[in-house]
A and B are shown apart, each in its own frame.
Chain A
């Protein structure tokens, strides 16, 4: 071929790969940051969820270990959609819906099983109650603890 080893095409290729790797790295990093509590709690309405997460047994996991699908192909559109809905909801002053949407509950429950499958391998623990947190209630953000342990007014 007529191009030299140090020709512009190779430069472009190398540059492109480098840029792609940087971009991928940034995207991966951004995905990780936006999975985690510091990012989620940057909206004040998430304070209760964040405080009870930080003081709970799952404190060292990211929010989206529970609240988004683990499968990347499902996770990307899920995060985009939920994020958009939360931004719009927050801007229009909506409260967190109680109970949460069926979709979120199903995702969270699937993630319970993703990590705790071995514990439940010999029992029909999904037969009697639809969700793991129907028994493990405090995992759902310690919602039966007194209000003062969960939130304060917003100045």
Chain B
């Protein structure tokens, strides 16, 4: 009998021990991410060496190969962003028809497509018409800086060449002997220290900016890092003029702030230095129709987002684009960086908005995107009209206003400013959702500046060009649907449009680069 009592007591004790063991340890609020010692050397740049140790992250990264699904405004089919005429995969219903006009004289008039996943970054880079593939000497006529956000190989190239790297020709690093297009695309080493897998920066321009703004990566909180690894690349940038920094070095123009007005003010300087030693305005290119000194905006996703409703509240890029997923019982960050709207369940959003249905959330996104898209097209039309007004006023030989030069100087500045403003929204990848109020305000201001340019140019000609501008701009300056480096070799093709005829005819060259393969032109027999 005592045995039974003993065994009962023993059972109770055992049960209590199990309960205690299972439940005596309170949770830690430190939220330390898992640590790793991979044995992978920290110079590793390819992604397959990571596959064995991180099969879950690797598998979700490979989902970036998907390039067939479109959402309402975005998606992964690399259609031509100006083409609203042809069906997918060439064009798309929500295109921006005036892009080639607005970028006339700049490589963006040749080709500019919707983006695909990170796995395609180098592949798309090697097939874009913006880089010259027709020169007999193989030069791309762009700086090697163009590689900066395409490959972690950058770390090695900068170690080897230092600041001399940037101004080299982009095609010097194009061949199969220079880069492995599959293995060295944007991947693990871009954001992770291969030895410990801790988040790290590879980006020279972002490191420079952290230094300029007195920040130290080591003391930056994990939450901020979950945004900054993306801000290595999803930002507006420019290539330094050699008067101010190493030639063609990439710089993020953030010293006055992140908004379009601050960036516009920033670019009033940082151009070539004048006789007085001061930097004049920076210029990306001279518009081929209006001859205005233009600035190009490039994907200011971070700048747009950081003071939006989500960014200002401390929500990170990774919160929505790298949601935690349960895979085989383990919780990992999804490494499929794509449109969160592709998920019918909108699970990334509902980690926070648990009380909302996916349909409701999707409708709220579209509410902003629809309005932003419509205002964007209106601002772009007004911008085309502003270029046309300045072009007509430039050519106007009749009576001119006494202060013609002053009026035209201001008109040109308003064309430049109006375009910086709409491009800030157009180049950004969320169609307003990352920051609805700023996007719509920026487009409103853009149209205002462009309209001001029209007014000033009209006034400078004593209103002589007013009748020409009164017509629908789509009739006087139709959207340019097709334009490429090959087509620009054809004088008759260029004659077909009032603005393409303003472009020089390119010499008749055959394509020398096909992806990574270079075929020198045969002996000049023709």
Quick one: CB contact mask for A32-44 with B, threshold 8 Å, 1 for yes?
0110111111101
Residue of B nearest to A44 (CB): B331
Contact A148 B31, beta carbon cutoff 8 Å: yes
Question: What is the interface size of chain A, counting residues whose CB is below 8 A from a CB of the partner?
Answer: 41
CB distance from A97 to the nearest CB of B (A): 10
CB distance from B340 to the nearest CB of A (A): 13
Query: Are A38 and B16 also in contact (CB < 8 A) when A147-B351, A153-B332 are?
Result: no
CB distance from B259 to the nearest CB of A (A): 23
Quick one: CB contact mask for A72-95 with B, threshold 8 Å, 1 for yes?
000000000000000000000101
Write out the residue numbers on chain B whose beta carbons fall within 8 Å of the beta carbon of A22: 12
Write out the residue numbers on chain A whose beta carbons fall within 8 Å of the beta carbon of B257: none
Query: Are A47 and B27 also in contact (CB < 8 A) when A42-B22, A151-B324 are?
Result: yes
Contact B326 A93, beta carbon cutoff 8 Å: yes
Residue of B nearest to A131 (CB): B355
Query: Are A54 and B223 also in contact (CB < 8 A) when A44-B331, A93-B328 are?
Result: no
Contact B29 A39, beta carbon cutoff 8 Å: no
Q: Say yes or no: is B69 at the interface (Cβ < 8 Å to chain A).
A: no
Question: What is the interface size of chain B, counting residues whose CB is below 8 A from a CB of the partner?
Answer: 45
Q: Say yes or no: is B291 at the interface (Cβ < 8 Å to chain A).
A: no
Contact A147 B324, beta carbon cutoff 8 Å: yes
Write out the residue numbers on chain A whose beta carbons fall within 8 Å of the beta carbon of B25: 38, 42
Quick one: CB contact mask for A139-155 with B, threshold 8 Å, 1 for yes?
01001111111111111
Tell me the chain B residues, 302-340 only, with Cβ under 8 Å from chain A.
313-316, 318-319, 323-324, 326, 328-333
Contact A152 B23, beta carbon cutoff 8 Å: no
Q: Say yes or no: is A30 at the interface (Cβ < 8 Å to chain B).
A: yes
Contact A146 B314, beta carbon cutoff 8 Å: yes
Q: How many CB-defined contacts (below 8 Å) exist between A and B?
A: 109
Q: Say yes or no: is B395 at the interface (Cβ < 8 Å to chain A).
A: no
Contact B19 A30, beta carbon cutoff 8 Å: yes
Q: Say yes or no: is B354 at the interface (Cβ < 8 Å to chain A).
A: yes
Q: Say yes or no: is B33 at the interface (Cβ < 8 Å to chain A).
A: yes
Q: Which listed residue, A23, A30, A37, A149, touches B31 by the CB 8 Å rule?
A: A149
Q: What CA separation (Å) do A151 and B20 show in the bound complex? A: 24
Query: Are A147 and B318 also in contact (CB < 8 A) when A93-B329, A153-B332 are?
Result: yes
CB distance from A16 to the nearest CB of B (A): 11
Q: What CA separation (Å) do A87 and B284 show in the bound complex? A: 62
CB distance from A80 to the nearest CB of B (A): 15
Contact A154 B34, beta carbon cutoff 8 Å: yes
Q: Say yes or no: is B200 at the interface (Cβ < 8 Å to chain A).
A: no
Write out the residue numbers on chain B whose beta carbons fall within 8 Å of the beta carbon of A134: 355
Write out the residue numbers on chain A whose beta carbons fall within 8 Å of the beta carbon of B355: 99, 134
Quick one: CB contact mask for A13-50 with B, threshold 8 Å, 1 for yes?
00000010011001001100110111111101101001
Q: What CA separation (Å) do A50 and B26 show in the bound complex? A: 9
Contact B34 A155, beta carbon cutoff 8 Å: yes
Write out the residue numbers on chain A whose beta carbons fall within 8 Å of the beta carbon of B33: 152-153
Q: Say yes or no: is A98 at the interface (Cβ < 8 Å to chain B).
A: yes
Q: Say yes or no: is A9 at the interface (Cβ < 8 Å to chain B).
A: no
Residue of A nearest to B9 (CB): A22
Q: What CA separation (Å) do A152 and B12 show in the bound complex? A: 36
Write out the residue numbers on chain A whose beta carbons fall within 8 Å of the beta carbon of B32: 152
Contact B27 A38, beta carbon cutoff 8 Å: yes
Contact B352 A38, beta carbon cutoff 8 Å: no
Q: Say yes or no: is B93 at the interface (Cβ < 8 Å to chain A).
A: no
Contact B23 A33, beta carbon cutoff 8 Å: yes
Residue of A nearest to B315 (CB): A146
Query: Are A143 and B24 also in contact (CB < 8 A) when A22-B12, A44-B331, A153-B324 are?
Result: no
Contact B223 A99, beta carbon cutoff 8 Å: no
Contact A148 B316, beta carbon cutoff 8 Å: yes
Contact A99 B354, beta carbon cutoff 8 Å: yes
Q: Say yes or no: is B441 at the interface (Cβ < 8 Å to chain A).
A: no
Tell me the chain A residues, 35-72 only, with Cβ under 8 Å from chain B.
36-42, 44-45, 47, 50-51, 54-55
Q: What CA separation (Å) do A29 and B332 show in the bound complex? A: 36
Q: Which listed residue, A19, A23, A51, A149, touches B223 by the CB 8 Å rule?
A: A149
Q: Which listed residue, A26, A47, A93, A151, touches B12 by the CB 8 Å rule?
A: A26
Query: Are A54 and B328 also in contact (CB < 8 A) when A146-B223, A146-B315, A153-B34 are?
Result: no
Contact A148 B331, beta carbon cutoff 8 Å: no
Q: What CA separation (Å) do A51 and B30 show in the bound complex? A: 9
Contact B354 A151, beta carbon cutoff 8 Å: no
Query: Are A151 and B331 also in contact (CB < 8 A) when A39-B23, A140-B354, A146-B223 are?
Result: yes
Q: Say yes or no: is B222 at the interface (Cβ < 8 Å to chain A).
A: yes
Residue of B nearest to A155 (CB): B34
Query: Are A33 and B19 also in contact (CB < 8 A) when A98-B350, A147-B318, A148-B226 are?
Result: yes
Contact B34 A152, beta carbon cutoff 8 Å: yes
If A45-B331, A147-B315 are given as contacts, then 11 extra A-B residue pairs at C-beta distance below 8 Å, sorted by A number, are A30-B16, A37-B27, A38-B24, A39-B19, A39-B22, A51-B28, A140-B354, A147-B319, A148-B221, A149-B31, A153-B330
Which 7 A-B pairs rank lowest in CB-CB distance, beginning with the nearest?
A39-B23, A155-B34, A50-B27, A148-B223, A41-B27, A154-B331, A147-B319
Q: List 14 A-B contacts (CB under 8 A).
A: A26-B16, A33-B19, A38-B24, A39-B22, A39-B23, A44-B331, A54-B26, A54-B27, A54-B29, A144-B313, A144-B352, A147-B323, A153-B33, A155-B35
Which residues of A does B touch, CB under 8 Å?
19, 22-23, 26, 29-30, 33-34, 36-42, 44-45, 47, 50-51, 54-55, 93, 95, 98-99, 134, 140, 143-155
